[in-house]
Structure 1
Amino acid sequence: MPAYLPFNVIGATQALNASTHGSPAIVTVNRAAGSTLTLPAAYGSGTEFDIVVGTTITSNNLIIQVANASDVMTGHCVMLQDAGDTVSGFETAADSDTITMNGSTKGGIKGDRVRLKDIATNLWQVQILCAGTGTEVTPFSAAVS
């Protein structure tokens, strides 16, 4: 397996793909104003993206979304809360296709990590380990379909 260097996202949008970014790919997001990352269509290829927040989101959002209305995500988010040494957990819904991190209540803080794997036709598996502030809420939604 070839070794791939981390890919640094500093623009407003980025389409991810295994042929350009490698697999497993390490993607760092270093844009305080947020970015929108679009995954390739899922077909069970085993393609993996490991997305790391390198710069805390201070305006707009870091959005990670599927390529088409047929694809969805399955998995969970473990969010460390800023008060009381507690943890919140969030699961995807049957129609989840988008992750939105806002640098606060939905994660998006430097060091946060999103792991995605193309596990079947129309299905991305997701694991998020992140920190949140304020009243934490789910980063998952159905925004593409």
Structure 2
Amino acid sequence: MDRMQPINITTTPLTLTAEAHSGTVITANRAAGITFTLPAALGYGSIFEFVVGTTITSNSLIIQVANSTDIMSGLAIQAADGGSTSNAWETGATDDTITMDGSTKGGIKGDRVILKDVAAGLWSVTVIGSATGTEATPFSSAV
């Protein structure tokens, strides 16, 4: 079986490509945050899986689309720090960016983000993680 090693990222920014990054785990190991830019969504089925390897302590971990026409559709589920509770957020109609701040929006060691290129202009997204403080959605329309 051909195994792909995780890709450890410690610098920013990084523009992703299907050839170099799809189908493997991308570990974000930079406490000062990292900005990832996805390739354009063309419906080719590329999958990008991110794991927070180092909790964000300044700035943010940002995952954004490549252009102003691509959007993300899906949800984020985050365990709340106030006990055995959780929060869930769905994307809005024009959301194209995930921002994790190491606190209220996630970005804590072990958090996972999975994006799949499902159609021209459309990324399917799932965020599973945890958040602290007054939790808030990690999704926005920023590109």
User: What's the secondary structure of 1:124's corresponding residue?
Assistant: strand
Tell me, yes or no, if the aligned pair for 1:18 and 1:25 is still in contact at 8 Å.
Answer: no
1:63-102 correspondence to structure 2 within 5 Å:
63-102=62-101
What is aligned with 1:3?
Answer: 3
1:123-138 correspondence to structure 2 within 5 Å:
123-138=122-137
Deviation at 1:25, TM superposition (A): 2.1
The amino acid of 1:9's aligned partner reads: I
Give aligned pairs, total: 143
Tell me, yes or no, if the aligned pair for 1:109 and 1:131 is still in contact at 8 Å.
Answer: yes
Cα separation, 1, equivalents of 2:14 and 2:2: 22
Deviation at 1:46, TM superposition (A): 0.3
**TM-score between the two structures when normalised by the length of structure 1:** 0.96
User: What's the secondary structure of 1:117's corresponding residue?
Assistant: strand
Identity of aligned residues (%): 57
Deviation at 1:2, TM superposition (A): 4.8
Q: CA RMSD in A?
A: 1.0
Tell me, yes or no, if the aligned pair for 1:76 and 1:90 is still in contact at 8 Å.
Answer: yes
Long gaps (5+) in structure 2: none
Cα separation, 2, equivalents of 1:84 and 1:36: 31
Alignment of 1:54 with 2:57, yes or no, is no
